[in-house]
Structure 1
Amino acid sequence: MPIRIPDSLPATDILEGENIFVMTEYRAMHQDIRPLKLVLLNLMPTKIVTETQIMRKLSNTPLQIEIDLMQTASHEAKNVSEQHLETFYTTFDEIKGERFDGMIITGAPVELLDFEDVDYWDELAAIMDWSATNVHSTLHICWGAQAGIYYHYGIPKYELPTKLFGVFEHEVVKPSSPLVRGFNDFFMAPHSRYTEVHAEDIEAHPDLELIAVSDEAGVYLAKSTDSRHFFVFGHPEYDADTLMAEYDRDIAKGLDMPLPRHYFPNDDPAQKPRATWRAHAQLLYTNWLNYYVYQTTPYDLDSMGEEAEADALRAEGIAHE
């Protein structure tokens, strides 16, 4: 899928250098098709790194995608230039009148805070509420997954005794789900977090289903039964060296950090880590886009609001004419 992004976005040169199909704005304007409209709510402090990683995963399927980058207005980003944000990012107030085929909500380094204590929680809650009528399908990642499954379904998070950090083996527990179509029975995925959700809480909820878990890392994939919400509790978008960069950063701060597990060859940080999760990470994004966005989204996005209104009226037992 050629990914349509602004010509001057830093990710453009990076992705083109990796032989990834990036469509410039000029070329996209001369194609007579409707691209999928996605909005990426980037909550990570390293915004350029995160937007590049996710765009890399969105790029390798056969459709055109148009992406809006969104930041929270109630939180000041400190690790990216104001010029980058002003040039490429929008806010909720600027796009809340629009509709999107899909949305991605990233993780954020705020896991040890209660959700309601996060300084942008009220804004994030408003965005997640808005998504019910203005977004066809939403993919939540890591803390974004914990926040989404808590807000929409009341599933709590639990603090871990130590940081879950490394690359872990996972098992597909619902192989019939199109989300994991083409997956091996067991696959690898990175995690980097201090909190978790419990599989039994998800299994007990009638509107949720468990897709993949790990004996060491716990829940990895879950979704709503109506396929409107997807929850990924790890970081499939991570590059091969992302965990190493996090480890080096924390060691430089004087923190007593263990090595990321199952990551460095022979557990030797002097050796270059290898990405053992890249293929399944790509397949995860491709399956979500194909089976849960492209195959089911309305061609006329304006009809999405009409369908949501009809669903609300039916839920209230009111006849809709």
Structure 2
Amino acid sequence: MRIGLVNSMPDGAMAASERQFRSLLQEALPGGELDLVLFELAGLERHPAIRAQMARRYQPAEAIADAGLDALVVTGAKPGRGSLRNAPFWPGFVRLVDQAVALRLPTLWSCLAAHAAVDHLDGIGRRALPQKHSGVFACAPVWSDPLLEGIDRVWGVPHSRLHDLAESDLRTHGYDILLRSPTVGVDTFVKRGEALFLFCQGHPEYDRDSLALEYRRDLNAYLQGQRPAAPAIPSGLLDPQTEAIWRERADWALAAGRVEPQAWPLGDAPGRIAPPWRPFAAGLYANWLRAGLQVPDATLPLAASPRAGEAGLSA
């Protein structure tokens, strides 16, 4: 299956993001061949060395029209403040959305890409949150839908975002809500038209330590004066004993003005070996590909159901 990935993540996260999406898509296609084609969006600031590396492996997003793709995944980007329509990447992003619509290309829009896509498609603006959503949160299906086939009643999804979309705005413009959290609101939603567009405000593609690494990055940014407030420890990620260790290290960092270089323990965090949300995420991706491409059920797997104690949920 030939799937495009538009990778707009910041330089420091770009390689990890590519690996995460590649791995998740491969899990959604067990026994199937994944041909992942890489694209970059115009208007994003890049270090010259990163741009040189991308030039050898990435194509401009405008090349999607002639790439013969079966489906497309679009990552988020570095979150900025204010309207996305003022972002340097906005013109290129608008062209990307219009291409996906014209090609009737099943597309998954991740995090900030989901916000930007609904802004362009229906004028739905994102809302700034008073505090960043960071953690693993319990998300439950809103209703029975083919895209949720095989997915259990509640599962934990990583979220890491500074903005939100109002559910009422999405419903008004014809979006179906698939998964919702009582804590962080809408998780996954869909719009069915000539192409199947799936939108994720969360990050089911994340590794087990992604939120931990982001927390350390945000804490370091605060200590360097790049954030107005110290970040909160990710919710629902750690067992109580490990969270106490993190609080001690955070207090030390705030007093010392620097973050200790050693890795912060995950303890009994969900996904100590492998993140428990991955089987669910692979099932969601498989259901999306199956529905978007209208392939037989036997071609792609159903989502796995969680075993007791593995969901890593946080209310």
TM-score normalized by the length of structure 2: 0.77
Superposed displacement of residue 228, structure 1: 2.0
Letter in 2 for 1:245: L
Q: Deviations over 1:25-48 (max 9, x none)?
A: xxxxxxxxxxx2211111101211
Structure 1: distance between partners of 2:206 and 2:25: 13
Residue pair 2:79, 2:162 contacting (<8 A) in 1 also: no
Match of 2:21 among 54, 57, 67: 54
Equivalences for residues 145-156 of structure 1 within 5 A: 145-156=114-125
For each residue in 1:189-213, what CA deviation from the matched residue of structure 2 results, as whole angstroms up to 9, or x when unmatched?
01001110011112222x3211110
Aligned to 1:97: 66
State the distance in 2 between where 1:71 and 1:234 align: 22
Distance 2:41 2:119 in 1: 19
Deviations 1:33-73 (A, max 9, x none): xxx22111111012111000000101022432222111123
Question: In the superposition, relative to structure 1, how do residues 258 and 202 fare at CA in structure 2: closer, same or farther (>3 Å)?
Answer: same
Structure 2 CA distance, aligned partners of 1:219 and 1:274?
Answer: 22
Asked if the contact 2:136/2:235 (under 8 Å) is kept, the reply is yes
In the alignment, is the contact (CA less than 8 A) between 2:125 and 2:165 conserved in 1?
yes
Aligned equivalent of 1:234, options 202, 214, 229: 202
Quick one: percent identity of the two aligned structures? 25
Secondary structure of 1:96's aligned partner:
helix
CA deviations on 1:64-119 (whole Å, 9 max, x unpaired) are: 22221111232232396334202210002444334422111111122423111110
* Counterpart selection for 1:259 from 225, 230, 233: 233
1:111–1:143 Cα contact (<8 Å) kept: no
SS at match of 1:188: strand
Query: Which residue pairs with 1:196 in the alignment?
Result: 164
CA shift at 1:174, angstroms? 1.8
CA contact (8 A) 2:8 2:44 kept: no
Matching of residue 244 in structure 1 with residue 212 in structure 2: yes
Contact kept? 2:6, 2:61, Cα under 8 Å: no
RMSD, aligned α-carbons: 1.9
Taking the TM superposition and a 5 Å limit, the aligned residue runs for 1:159-198 are 159-175=128-144, 177-198=145-166
Letter in 1 for 2:5: L
Name the structure 1 match of 2:33.
64
Question: Taking CA–CA contacts closer than 8 Å with sequence separation of 6 or more, which of the two structures ends up with the larger relative contact order?
Answer: 2
Determine if contact 1:99/1:135 at 8 Å carries over to the other structure. Answer: no
Query: What one-letter code is carried by the residue in structure 2 that aligns with 1:37?
Result: R
Distance in 2 separating the partners of 1:97 and 1:286: 24
Gaps in structure 2 of 5+ consecutive residues:
247-263, 297-315
Paired positions, count: 259
Choose the corresponding residue for 1:214, options 173, 178, 181. 181
Is residue 274 of structure 1 aligned with residue 273 of structure 2? no
Aligned-partner residue type, residue 281 of structure 2: A
Output aligned runs, 1:24-35, within 5 Å.
none
**What code does the residue aligned with 1:282 have?**
A
Distance (Å, rounded) in 1 between the aligned partners of 2:148 and 2:196: 16
Q: Provide the C-alpha distance between the structure 1 equivalents of 2:285 and 2:21, rounded to a whole number of angstroms.
A: 9
- Scaled by the length of structure 1, what TM-score is found? 0.76
Residue in structure 2 matched with residue 310 of structure 1 by the alignment: none
Counterpart Cα distance in 1 of 2:137 and 2:279: 15
CA distance in 1 between partners of 2:48 and 2:292 (Å): 33
